[in-house]
Amino acid sequence: MRSSMAMVVVLVGATLAGCGEAADPPVYADDLPPAARGFAPAVRTIDDALGPVGFVAADAGAVVWSAPRAGGMSLLARATPRAGTRELVPRFETSVVSDGAFDVGRGSRGRAVVVWTQGCDGPGRCLVQSVALTGGRPRTIARLPDGARSPVAIDGTSLVYVADAAGCNELRLLTLPGGPDSSLGRGTCGSVLQVDVDGSFVAAAVSTEPPGDEDSFPSEAWLSDVRNGGVRIAQVEDAGYSGPDQITQVMLDRGALFTTRLGDSGDQLVRIPVNGGAATRTRVAGSSPAVVARDAGTTYVIDAVKEGRRSALLQYRLDTGR
307's CB contacts (< 8 A; 6+ apart) are none
What is residue 9's predicted lDDT score, i.e. its pLDDT? 32
CA angle 94, 209, 175 (to 5 degrees): 55
What is residue 298's predicted lDDT score, i.e. its pLDDT? 94
Cα separations in angstroms, 63 against 78, 100, 216: 5, 17, 34
Would you mind telling me the total number of residues written for the chain in this entry?
322
Q: Is the dihedral of CA 67, 70, 75, 81 positive or negative?
A: negative
Residue 90, Ramachandran bin (φ over 0: left; ψ between -120 and 50: alpha; else beta): beta
What is residue 99's predicted lDDT score, i.e. its pLDDT? 55
Are the beta carbons of 225 and 234 closer than 8 angstroms? Answer: no
**Mean pLDDT, consecutive 10-residue segments, the chain of 322 residues?**
32 37 81 89 90 90 92 91 93 64 91 92 82 94 92 97 91 94 94 95 90 74 94 89 79 96 82 95 87 94 80 86 48
Residue 53 DSSP one-character state: -
CA distance 179 to 34: 42
What is residue 13's predicted lDDT score, i.e. its pLDDT? 37
CA angle 199, 201, 206 (to 5 degrees): 140
Three-state DSSP state, 79: coil
15's CB contacts (< 8 A; 6+ apart) are none
Are the beta carbons of 174 and 184 closer than 8 angstroms? Answer: no
- Helices (runs of H) and strands (runs of E) counted in the chain: 1, 24
What is residue 238's predicted lDDT score, i.e. its pLDDT? 85
Are the beta carbons of 292 and 249 closer than 8 angstroms? Answer: yes
